[in-house]
Amino acid sequence: MRQYIIRRLLQLIPVMFSVTVIVFLMLHLIPGDPAEILAGEEASIEDVQAIRNQLGLDKPLFIQYATYMKNVIKGDLGRSMRTRRPVLTEIMDRYFNTIILAACSVVVMVLLGVSTGILSAIKQYSWIDNVSMLVALFGVSMPVFWLGLMLMLFFSVYLGIFPTTGIGTFKHLVLPSITLGASATAVVARLTRSSMLEVIRQDYIRTARAKGLNEFLVITRHALKNALIPVVTIVFLRFGVLLGGAVLTETVFAWPGIGWLMIDSIWARDYPVVQGCILMVAVSFVLINLFTDFLYAFIDPRIRYY
């Protein structure tokens, strides 16, 4: 196990290096000059050049990248071009909000997705199964921003139950969590159904039923545990995706998370903040995948890492 952990951690180095190279080149090669944005429309050429020199944008790209990586290794992600605050401070002020939103979306995804998938597998080809899979198909297909606006219109404008935007109370979490987790819930429901159908047709399930075991125990103790591995995989992978994919949801509900920060920074060409946000999301995603691999051994004793 120790060798496996060390090997996986070493694999993070080329992955993160590739992420930094790709993001750095994408941001610096797209049209737009952050110095001109910071200086304003009425600034002179000398003012723009002074800002460019101050930010180090006049240096060759490989020198800028080498300086950036040297600082990243030291734990310094730089300073925001707009606020001049440390990038890590800017990110951590927002990242916790994104984690809360993503975690609540995962709760919605697991509770609704797994339970719906199990029920559909048990009642295969019934009206419950047909309706559940139809709703799941609708959930996978509809755009996130459209669902958010529809939920906001119905529950906030018409019924006045939940607030439209902002952060602060549990009610502020309900609509964004449902919006962000809807598509993932549909995927989990369909995967749980297919995995359960495969498991409940195995010989040991028929043996358990032949022994006279209660159907609830057969499903929960024998079938569900063995059907969980693909479900756990998709749940944690979706959690990693939700951390970086909450941009639309955070924008619709004005949720002050890392996705909203990333969009504002892209518009302002705030390179250090955008690079820091993507780097943070990439690290989180890789670590979640690593944790998922370790979790397999606890779910299925047959899995061992040497």
Domain that residue 277 falls in:
89-299
The predicted model gives 101-125 an average pLDDT of 85
Residues 131 and 96 in one domain: yes
Q: Do residues 35 and 55 touch, judged by C-beta distance below 8 A?
A: yes
pLDDT recorded at residue 110:
85
Q: What is the pLDDT of residues 235-289, one digit of tens each?
A: 877 777 777 667 778 888 888 888 888 888 887 777 788 888 888 888 888 788 7
Q: Give, in degrees to the nearest 5, the angle at Cα 242 between 161 and 150.
A: 35
Spatial distance between the Cα atoms of 57 and 70, rounded to a whole number of angstroms: 16
Residues 34 and 109 in one domain: no
pLDDT recorded at residue 41:
67
Q: Do residues 132 and 119 touch, judged by C-beta distance below 8 A?
A: yes
pLDDT of 40 over the 70 cut: no
pLDDT of 8 over the 80 cut: no
Torsion (CA) 44, 50, 55, 60 in degrees, nearest 10: 100
Q: Do residues 273 and 265 touch, judged by C-beta distance below 8 A?
A: yes
pLDDT of 174 over the 60 cut: yes
Q: What is the pLDDT of residues 117-126, one digit of tens each?
A: 888 888 888 8
pLDDT recorded at residue 303:
59
Choose the final residue of a domain: 14, 38, 73. Answer: 73
pLDDT of 301 over the 70 cut: no
CATH number where 180 lies: 1.10.3720.10
What percent of the chain is modeled with pLDDT above 90? 0
Choose the final residue of a domain: 25, 45, 73. Answer: 73
pLDDT of 37 over the 70 cut: no
